Amino acid sequence: MKIAVAVDSRFSRISGHAGRARSWLVWECAGGAVSALPSRVVLDPRMVFHHHEDGQPHPLDGVDALLAISAGEGFVTKMMRRGLDVRLTAETDPAKAVSDYLADRLSPPRPRPIGELLCKALDMFSPPHHGGGAKKD
């Protein structure tokens, strides 16, 4: 099993808005055990999920689960169509979040009503070919 975690540019904390995240840590897990060192993935801006076309190859293909602080409904739906388990959490430590996910004790996300509204507004005004505007993803 592979678990990808959206992180900040220093790869030290889990980030929000997973659809726009460029930096990811990917852990290989087997039998409930986590690999010691995750691999680092920095997405080209065109490969950020918010801009990426469904059905096209992606650097995070082969990942089974994605963890982040926040993600929009469109992102979650898009990832579920790709067969991924998307989990949002209040946890900010990437390694702890992966361990908690595997132990089925990942902390729930914090409510963020203002952040959700801002994300929806930003997505609504994004050009349609970038996942926003008239296209609902």
For residue 121, the SS3 value is helix
Select 2-111's CATH number: 1.10.274.10, 3.40.50.970, 3.30.590.10, 3.30.420.130: 3.30.420.130
User: What percent of the chain is modeled with pLDDT above 70?
Assistant: 81
* pLDDT tens by residue, 20-61: 999 999 999 988 788 779 999 999 998 998 777 777 889 999
* pLDDT tens by residue, 51-69: 777 778 899 999 999 999 9
Q: What ranges do the domains of the chain cover?
A: 2-111
Instruction: Tell me the pLDDT band of 135, cut-offs 50, 70 and 90.
Output: very low
73 vs 44, residue with greater confidence:
44
Q: What is the distance between the alpha carbons of residues 5 and 45, in angstroms, rounded to a whole number?
A: 17
For residue 66, the SS3 value is strand
